[in-house]
Amino acid sequence: MQPESAMEPESTVQPEQRYRAPLVAFLVANVVSICGTRVSAIAVPWFVLITTGSPVKTGMVALAEMTPLVLVKAFGGPWIDRVGARRISVIADTASTGVVALIPLLHTLYLLHFPTLLVLVAIAGALRGPGDAAKGTLVPDIARAAKVPLERVTGLESTTERLASFFAYALAGGLITLVGSVNALWIDAASFGVCAVLIARWIPAHHEKAPKTEEGYGRRLLEGWQFLRKDKLMMPLVLMIAVTNLLDAAVGAVLLPVWIKDHGFGPGHTSLILTSFGVTATLFALLASAVGERIPRKLVFTLAFLICGAPRFVVMAFDAPIWAVMGIYAIGGIGAGFINPVLGALFIERIPRPMLGRVNSLADAVCWTGVPLGGVLAGAAIAGIGLAPALLGAGAVYLVATMSPVLIGRHENWKATPDPTDPKGTEADRDPVAVAAS
């Protein structure tokens, strides 16, 4: 296919602007969508905790959202490859707008009961699964269209995620205090609608085309699983991240809110702690986008997890002052900023482009397997052994999990590899657009 500048030589739009438009639209959509989701991540648990006083029910809400998210993400991959990532993303975000908006609407009408809330967050989770996976599938096409290394796009994607978290966490506490936790979900609903418009308008339609195949759904799903299972680096990493994601969900949905409440603080202090994390995570994700193709992936990945993982649990377990918790979270953000750029580029490079939707969805699903249980297990642990022992136990498990990259794969397995589906074939490793040097 000819570049757009060759097809429209008389256009006043510069070629660089044409190339960068999909990247900019993708990044803006990422900021808007994630920002709304992060607001709801604070608003919903806090609403349930305040209205019910039950850590277990707070965990049940997380379970209700994450279980369908993981299941649909796991089984929706073949449809992304067949229907197209762009189309799936737009459909999922459009539907999410209406479903999420029902929560504050029903609350206003005094019709929002706890079982109804569980149903709505379950539907929202089922829609988020394929929507998030579809956006990830667009990354290699956007990198090629923008003529930048893959690490640059994954780094910028992670930066926008951290930036969105920064703004969301900084504003969520005041917003919830001002308008109420459930009403803050109007912002979440609007964010999905804006994201759908951006993707539909600015991501070129040819990015969604997938190779035609006569294979059935089950066969395509099985091929994706077999590819993931046999990869000696991806599968162990996916299992490791499943453990750390479970613990991250536990601290975010239950452990941190309960710690804040038990110490006499409010949602504004939750925002301060998470904002301190978001600031450093954003800055260092931006750094990773600039130098990602030159850093030693295995070393950086291991150190990043050690910094951002277990210390958060330990500092709360020993009842540190609020400023110390903020400091540890800020240091943890330094490590967190490097994780997704490294991991995203590594996975996308190893997966053949025609299978990217199904393999990426399955990998994400396995990574998120423990997330639905995080809040429930945290609530049960607090009820059974108390908050401080639960925090120490979670921190110990996190530390063991984060040491596993030292044992995973040979050093060269972490390096960038050529895309076997690149049209330049065996010369893809010399194309800075198709693949960046490690």
Take residue 287 and report the two structure tokens written for it: 């750094």
Please write the tens of the pLDDT for every residue from 12-33: 444 455 567 788 888 888 888 7
Distance CA 219, CA 212 (A): 14
Could you give the angle at the alpha carbon of 21 between the alpha carbons of 18 and 26, nearest 5°?
Answer: 155
Take residue 417 and report the two structure tokens written for it: 């590899």
Please write the tens of the pLDDT for every residue from 238-268: 989 999 999 998 888 789 988 988 888 877 7
Any idea what DSSP says for residue 89?
H
Query: Which residue matches tokens 């993708």?
Result: 26
Q: How many residues does the structure list for the chain?
A: 438
Q: Is residue 353 part of a domain?
A: yes
* Dihedral (Cα; 351, 371, 158, 177), 10-degree rounding: 160
DSSP 39-77: HHHHHHHHHHHHHH--HHHHHHHHHHHHHHHHHHHHHSH
Q: Is residue 436 part of a domain?
A: no
> Is the separation of the CB atoms in 142 and 153 below 8 Å?
yes
DSSP 155-177: HHHHHHHHHHHHHHHHHHHHHHH
The 10 Å Cβ neighbour count of residue 321 is 10
Please write the tens of the pLDDT for every residue from 374-389: 888 888 899 889 999 9
**Long-range Cβ contact pairs of 212-220 (< 8 A, separation 24 or more):** 213/82, 217/78, 217/79, 220/78, 220/81, 220/82, 220/358
Residue 253 is part of which domain span?
16-209+216-429
Q: Is residue 7 part of a domain?
A: no
**212 or 47, higher pLDDT:** 47
Take residue 420 and report the two structure tokens written for it: 């076997």
SS3 111: coil
Distance CA 301, CA 415 (A): 12
pTM value?
0.65
> Is the separation of the CB atoms in 152 and 26 below 8 Å?
no
Number of domains into which the chain is organized = 1
Q: How confident is the model at residue 429 (pLDDT cuts 50, 70, 90)?
A: very low
Q: How confident is the model at residue 410 (pLDDT cuts 50, 70, 90)?
A: low
Question: Using H for helix, E for strand and C for coil, what is the string for 372-386?
Answer: HHHHHHHHHHHHHHC
Q: Is residue 328 part of a domain?
A: yes
Q: Is residue 10 part of a domain?
A: no
Take residue 235 and report the two structure tokens written for it: 């599968």
Query: Which residue matches tokens 């010399």?
Result: 430
Q: Is residue 2 part of a domain?
A: no
**1 or 382, higher pLDDT:** 382
Q: What CATH number has the domain bearing residue 233?
A: 1.20.1250.20
The 10 Å Cβ neighbour count of residue 433 is 16
Find the DSSP H helices in 292-416.
297-308, 310-317, 322-350, 356-367, 371-385, 387-402
Tell me which amino acid residue 327 is.
G
CB within 8 A of 149, min separation 6: which ones?
143, 292, 293, 432, 433, 435, 436
What's the pLDDT at 328?
93
**What percent of the chain clears pLDDT 90, i.e. is strictly above it?**
12
